[in-house]
Structure 1
Amino acid sequence: MARYNSWQNRSLIRAAEALTDAARWQDRGAFFGSIAATLNHLYWADALILARLMGNERPQDTITHSLTNPADWQDYRLLRRRRDRQIERWAADLKDAELSGTVVWYQAGGATRVTTSRALCAVQLFNHQTHHRGQVHAMLTAAGAKPDVTDLTSLG
């Protein structure tokens, strides 16, 4: 799933290259509005979920979720590649036993404690990506860009 995530992110970035910066930020009626804002949400949410899986109960204290940052497309591309490599390294080093037990974190604001299965949290990392990348794929297609197919069998 980590390799699939990286592959699909590269696909969306390549497709978004065909658009102007204004077109990437144009509100298209999606949950987070624009292609760029949705991609930023994924970038920051990946950081938060991965930090939780690594034992950080308060990742929001050091990781700021932002729909507008990074604002520069070249910065986003570089940061996304780095995040994807981080996820791939985490997944490659993961041992089966590390998926047992629970993950604990506090929601933003720190008042609500959340406890969930470590395995479920790992699945959520990838499921969340798939959900929002589907939105980006649809926005890109509607804008005339051509992302790659999303079939797992196409990964090779």
Structure 2
Amino acid sequence: MTEPAWPVLRQGGTGPNVTALQYLLRGARDQWRTLAADGVFGPATDSVVRGFQSVAGLPVDGVVGPATWQRLTDGTTIGATVREGSQGEYVKAAQTELLKHGDLKTAAQVDGIFGPDTDTATRRFQERVGLMVDGIVGPATWRQLISRPGS
């Protein structure tokens, strides 16, 4: 399977990928939990992206491209791999992406609790895009969720 290209996000961007990014950043460090997950890549998101890039040893440019996405989702960031029973900001990021793809039906399901509905949605998405169907949102599933356009 060919890996889809990571989207490139920067200040001025909007949409579900920005919301998912904001949740991922909120989950990466307690001090970033106040970042609004509003889907708008404004100055506050730019500042936190730059902080993450600095901490992660990446070039600090405020642009979320392949290296930043990979570091946020590769499993080396504590909590980035989520599955049934997981809770928190990373789950909200996965749920935001599953909603974008139509696998979750309502925004109310973006609650940060990886329960049976999120598990079913994850498995449905994995099957549809040709991934191993295990209900785990790890590096390969993150890439497909974030890189593919929504339905």
Larger proportion of helix: 1
TM-score (norm 1): 0.32
Query: Which has the larger Rg?
Result: 1
Higher RCO structure, 1 or 2 (CA under 8 Å, sep 6+)? 1
Larger proportion of strand: 1
